[in-house]
Structure 1
Amino acid sequence: MYFRGELKNGIKVIMEKIPYIKSVSVGVFINVGTKDESENNNGISHFIEHMIFKGTEKRDAKDIAKEIDNLGGQMNAFTSSEYTCYYVRVLDKHLTTAVDILSDMLNNPKFSEEDIANEKRVILEEINMYLDSPEDVVFDMIHEIMFKGTPLSFPVLGTKETVKNLDRKTLIDYYNKYYRPDNMVITVIGNYNEKEIIDILNNYFSRKPSCKNIVRDKSSSLPSLKPCILGKQREFEQVNFCLGTEGIKRDNEEKYSLYIINNFFGGSVSSILFQKIREERGLAYSVYSTPVSFKNAGIFTIYAALSNKEILNVARLIKEEIIKFKKNLIGKSDLLKLKEQLKSSYILEMESTFGRMLEIGSSELLTGDALTLEEVLNKINKVSLDDIKRVTEKIFDSSKFNIAYVGNISNIEDTNAKLKEIFFS
């Protein structure tokens, strides 16, 4: 059972008390991410996330780190395509101190020129690290082609050029535009005093005045689903291959059918792809499928890391298994087992206060309707064989396939032509 409320300045709050544990997780979700960026300022959402940890007038960066360490707590943040999250996990007796630190960081960042210059160097190294990860590179490529023409095609970290060009005024203007009460959700999960918690949050978070809602273009996040193949030559040891197709957006109940299909097709060690490509043929170490849901769109991806000599063989196997799967759909007994598997994994994920905080906070921020554990389990139970058939036809429509790969491929044009023949002929 969730408690929903609102602070004096309009910040939405959603909380769940778990009295039998000794910890509490607090998350502050800001409705800002890559989706709000342009080609010129790409990476700014992530850059500001870094700057929030660089200190305030009251605390410098070292003070923040020390205070959290002294509590024995954990504090971190991340930026995604759709939102930015700052979170802290501490013992329940340290809740007020943790909220004080978190609110000070978010409400009073310094944005000093020295810190900005230093953090540019840090983030440029982060980009270098990312570019050395072929798995990350190929997923950026699939987003680039599937969301072409929209901000969701941009990398979360930005590019080296856009990061270098960010200045203090640009950062502060962007911060002031998005870090505001109407654009935030605070989530508190764990053991807390129900009589005191709203007063604590109001005391530290309601100092920032309320303002008018941000107007967004809701259509800008919809993906382009025209078939496309993008290959890049890089001196990696393996080829990293990704097939992307239409998925299910975040607030569409068909996503539960997709989760079931995913577990059966490529999302588990007993799945079709893992067993066929890795266990039976030994063609890849890492092979899996995964659904990604955004507020206004969704994609479904199939990934494999393999020898450059095997890319076409693995592509043929993936295509064969897709065809077989469409002809021999999940049966009644398998559906029951898959529902239990999905429900179990969801329950285990929600056992963690962090996992619970993340799921509840992001859902409340993006859809305004975070479901309880029982509500999610009921929706999984309601998935029918007809639902599975309908979603299968949707995601495995080859006219919407997009392919990206990166690795040591000698002839990109020839490989593209052969992949086109495999998937689109």
Structure 2
Amino acid sequence: VANLAPCFARLVTLPNGLEVILQSDDSAPVVSVQAWCRTGSIHEGKWLGAGMSHVLEHMLFKGTSSRTGLEIDHSIQDAGGHMNAYTSFDRTVYHVTIPDTGAKLATEILCDIMQNATLPEDELPGELDVIRREMEMGNDDPSRRAGRRLFETAYTKSPYRHTVIGYRDIFDKLTRDDLLNYYRERYAPNNCFIVVVGAIDTDEVLEWINDCYAAQPARSLPPVLLTNEPRQVASREVTDEGPFEHAHFHFAWHVPDVRHDDIPALDVLSTLLGGGRSSRLYLHVRDAKALVHSVDAWTYTGEQTGLFGMSAVADADKLGQAQAAMLGELQQFKDSLADESELAKAIKQFT
């Protein structure tokens, strides 16, 4: 049984449904502010496969009704902060890390872009071209290409089989009006949450967020039909040949969604198996046998069926040996329990 550190995070739900997670941590004069929207590539409805959520991620920092994109950039930088964002299958996240003196600024800017982004028409063509170049780079990058084939193979019906960035033929049909409609539908306060952690007064931060969202009521969310992945009854294997120096390959197995009680155990298993230089895959398959250049194990969990997997990069002439060795390491966990000290070390990474 692991002794987990107590969680002192404070969870508040505003009248409009916006959830706020706050935790004071005075160990350093730094604050992390995150704005999460519960929308990603699987929620794009009739535009499934367009990569609309990812386009919005690129556009939200380009300006609001009260701030230009340059003002947003300069104000965060002048305060010593750094901002970024990412899009996944079921979420889009905007985050700022900043000295505690800039906590209010970062909070207000993220609250602003989540409600009042203008998606400037003159900025959109340039960002679409940036994303087109990302698509081309993804096709030329063996790691990204292998990852894309993994999800296309693991999922046959679920929207998780579609790439987050989108497919060029559908992507090219997007208009600014399409993006605005999606933004207004999905970025409702009752579909978002704000996280602020660091050297903060939680009451004060909650007041800032309340003020920012005072005029924003809850909105109805149009239903999005998500097709469940049917149970897999046989193994699937796909080989995609290309002009690459090394073989990039994955093994994966379906696992429950993120809410299932087994997920923490799978997270620990992935750490024991392939989580860093002291993991079994790294020590035995990479270091001792020299069969791979890199190797790891992982879990991907979302709101639907997830994946537990192993990934590696190997020379083509060692591919078969590497695959057999990796499966052998996984089999060891089926045959015998992990050593107590090894298990404790892995669990400590999560606590």
Q: Would you call these one fold, judging by a TM-score over 0.5?
A: yes
In the alignment, is residue 300 of structure 1 matched against residue 308 of structure 2?
yes
Correspondence for 1:343: 347
Matched AA of 1:299: L
Maintained 8 Å contact 1:35/1:221: no
Q: Secondary structure at the match of 2:96?
A: strand
**1:153 offset after TM fit, Å?**
0.8
* Selected match of 1:180 from 170, 188, 201: 188
* Selected match of 1:23 from 4, 27, 30: 30
In the alignment, is residue 9 of structure 1 matched against residue 16 of structure 2?
yes
Correspondence for 1:400: none
Q: Secondary structure at the match of 1:165?
A: coil
* Selected match of 1:161 from 162, 166, 169: 169
Correspondence for 2:4: none
* Selected match of 1:189 from 166, 178, 197: 197
Matched AA of 1:140: R
* Selected match of 1:110 from 108, 118, 121: 118
Q: Distance in 1 between matches of 2:223 and 2:47?
A: 20
**1:149 offset after TM fit, Å?**
1.6
Q: Secondary structure at the match of 2:216?
A: coil
Q: Distance in 2 between matches of 1:277 and 1:198?
A: 50
**1:13 offset after TM fit, Å?**
1.0
Q: Secondary structure at the match of 1:249?
A: coil
**1:188 offset after TM fit, Å?**
1.3
Maintained 8 Å contact 2:272/2:346: no
Matched AA of 1:306: A
User: 1:186-228 CA distances to partner (integer Å, 9 max, x unpaired)?
Assistant: 111112223322221111133322112453446x254653421
Structure 1 unmatched runs, 5+: 348-425
In the alignment, is residue 59 of structure 1 matched against residue 88 of structure 2?
no
In the alignment, is residue 48 of structure 1 matched against residue 56 of structure 2?
yes
Paired residues for 1:108-147 under 5 Å:
108-147=116-155
Paired residues for 1:302-381 under 5 Å:
302-326=310-334, 328-331=335-338, 334=339, 336-347=340-351
Q: Which moved more, 1:70-79 or 1:93-102?
A: 93-102
**1:36 offset after TM fit, Å?**
0.8
Correspondence for 2:282: 274
Correspondence for 2:293: 285
In the alignment, is residue 35 of structure 1 matched against residue 42 of structure 2?
yes
Maintained 8 Å contact 2:121/2:176: yes
In the alignment, is residue 78 of structure 1 matched against residue 82 of structure 2?
no
Structure 2 unmatched runs, 5+: 1-7
Correspondence for 2:223: 215
Maintained 8 Å contact 1:245/1:300: yes
Matched AA of 2:306: G
Q: Distance in 2 between matches of 1:136 and 1:176?
A: 31
Q: Distance in 2 between matches of 1:273 and 1:63?
A: 47
Maintained 8 Å contact 1:259/1:342: no
Maintained 8 Å contact 2:26/2:198: yes
Identity across the alignment (%): 25
Classify 1:199/1:302 alpha carbon distance in 2 versus 1 (closer, same or farther; 3 Å).
Answer: same
Maintained 8 Å contact 1:26/1:186: yes
**1:14 offset after TM fit, Å?**
1.4
Matched AA of 1:45: S
Classify 1:307/1:184 alpha carbon distance in 2 versus 1 (closer, same or farther; 3 Å).
Answer: same
Paired residues for 1:79-94 under 5 Å:
79-94=87-102
Classify 1:323/1:339 alpha carbon distance in 2 versus 1 (closer, same or farther; 3 Å).
Answer: closer
User: 1:270-324 CA distances to partner (integer Å, 9 max, x unpaired)?
Assistant: 3332233211221211112111111222211111111122222222333444444
Maintained 8 Å contact 2:299/2:306: yes
* Selected match of 1:254 from 262, 268, 273: 262
Q: Distance in 2 between matches of 1:322 and 1:10?
A: 44
Size of the aligned set, in residue pairs, is: 342
Q: Which moved more, 1:273-282 or 1:10-19?
A: 273-282
Matched AA of 2:133: E
Q: Which moved more, 1:271-280 or 1:41-50?
A: 271-280
**1:45 offset after TM fit, Å?**
0.5
Q: Distance in 1 between matches of 2:101 and 2:330?
A: 53
Q: Secondary structure at the match of 1:296?
A: coil
Q: Distance in 2 between matches of 1:20 and 1:322?
A: 39
In the alignment, is residue 237 of structure 1 matched against residue 245 of structure 2?
yes
Q: Secondary structure at the match of 1:230?
A: coil
Maintained 8 Å contact 2:17/2:191: no
Classify 1:337/1:222 alpha carbon distance in 2 versus 1 (closer, same or farther; 3 Å).
Answer: farther
Maintained 8 Å contact 2:63/2:120: no
Q: Secondary structure at the match of 2:257?
A: coil
User: 1:113-160 CA distances to partner (integer Å, 9 max, x unpaired)?
Assistant: 322211110111122222232122212211111122221111111122
Classify 1:47/1:221 alpha carbon distance in 2 versus 1 (closer, same or farther; 3 Å).
Answer: farther
**What is the alpha-carbon root mean square deviation over aligned residues?**
2.1
Maintained 8 Å contact 1:246/1:300: yes
Q: Distance in 2 between matches of 1:204 and 1:118?
A: 30
Correspondence for 1:363: none
Maintained 8 Å contact 2:29/2:99: yes
Maintained 8 Å contact 1:288/1:302: yes
Classify 1:325/1:12 alpha carbon distance in 2 versus 1 (closer, same or farther; 3 Å).
Answer: closer
Q: Secondary structure at the match of 2:217?
A: coil
**1:254 offset after TM fit, Å?**
1.4
Maintained 8 Å contact 1:8/1:206: no
